[in-house]
Structure 1
Amino acid sequence: MPAPRFLDIEYCQTDDVLFPVAMAWSLEDGQMKTVVIAPADEWVPEDADLGDIDLLYLEEQGVPLIELAQELHQDLPDQTVYVDGMDPDEILVDLIFTAVGMDAPFEIAGMEELVTSLPREALDDRRRQLLSDEGLEPQLPENGVYALLLIAREEGFFD
């Protein structure tokens, strides 16, 4: 049985801006991909306060948005992709695909729509506990996806 697909996005949010800076998603076989995202020019006003975000790093190391959009189209066509529901994931996905003039190839749903045996709060607690038990930094998107994969495996959604 193919594994459910998961997605997590790290983002910059200040009074001036909101945009994605890194993303991780899982594939049918449970493998994971992660990328740093090169921001669109229109996402970053001239004198915007970016907090602790290193814009030069994102510009130099980030994947161009068109490449990211193409890869997501290839990896997640016509899928329901589950998120932890803690972040503005739908807004961030819309920002990516709007910037390149494409539609997202997937639908986003909260993890509670997949794992119906646990209430939302219990899912959040379990995710936090897994991150802590594994010694993982919660702000890294690959760690968020990993925790969701572990929950899905515990719940019997794949081996």
Structure 2
Amino acid sequence: MSLPRFLDIEYCQTDDALFPVAMAWSLADGRMKTVVIAPEESWLPDDGDLGDVDLFYLREQGVPLIELARELHEDLPDETVYVDGLDPDEILVDLIFGAVRQEAPFEIAPISDLITHRDAHALEDRRRQLLFEEGLEPQLPENGVYALLLLAKEEGLLEGY
């Protein structure tokens, strides 16, 4: 039996830019992958203002988009991938796959599509509470995925794991 898949994307957003900088996703066995993303030059604003994002770090440590797309095709083919529903995840995924001229191999859905007996606000409150209880920094995508895994486990969706 495969587990529900979860994804979280950290991103840079300024007046002139919106692009992904890091991503984490869960696998069928509950393990997680995390990558820093090397940005496409066309995503960068002309004025160079990226707020507190370290462009040198992204360029040095980031995974090229073609490698990220290949890995996502291998890990999440034909899956529904659940997100917290707060971030512009669909736009960010479209940016990644658009840059390499491919279609995303998965569909994105909010966690409220998986856990339907609680409303989106209650789910978000519990997700934030789990982050706090576990001492996790909410801006790290791996922590966002971990909190969604914990939430799914609480709801009995990860039986045997």
Deviations 1:53-109, CA, capped at 9 Å, x for gaps? 000000000000000000000000000000001100000000000000000000000
Partner of 1:26: 26
Contact 1:16 1:48 in 2 (8 A): no
Partner of 2:36: 36
Q: What is the Cα deviation at residue 46 of structure 1? A: 3.2
TM-score normalised by structure 1 residue count:
0.98
Q: What is the Cα deviation at residue 48 of structure 1? A: 2.9
CA distance in 1, matches of 2:58, 2:6: 23
TM-score normalised by structure 2 residue count:
0.97
CA RMSD of aligned residues (A): 0.7
One-letter amino acid of the structure 2 residue matched with residue 34 of structure 1: T
- Aligned pairs for 1:1-159 within 5 A: 1-159=1-159
Deviations 1:100-137, CA, capped at 9 Å, x for gaps? 00000000000000001211111000000000000000
Give secondary structure in 1 for the equivalent of 2:50: coil
Give secondary structure in 2 for the equivalent of 1:73: helix
Give secondary structure in 2 for the equivalent of 1:112: helix
One-letter amino acid of the structure 2 residue matched with residue 104 of structure 1: A
Give secondary structure in 2 for the equivalent of 1:35: strand
One-letter amino acid of the structure 1 residue matched with residue 123 of structure 2: L
Give secondary structure in 2 for the equivalent of 1:20: strand
One-letter amino acid of the structure 2 residue matched with residue 22 of structure 1: A
Q: What is the Cα deviation at residue 3 of structure 1? A: 1.1
CA distance in 1, matches of 2:156, 2:104: 28
Q: What is the Cα deviation at residue 49 of structure 1? A: 1.3
Identical pairs, percent: 75
CA distance in 1, matches of 2:55, 2:28: 32
CA distance in 1, matches of 2:18, 2:132: 27
Q: How many residues align?
A: 159
Give secondary structure in 2 for the equivalent of 1:117: coil
Unaligned runs of 5+ in 1: none
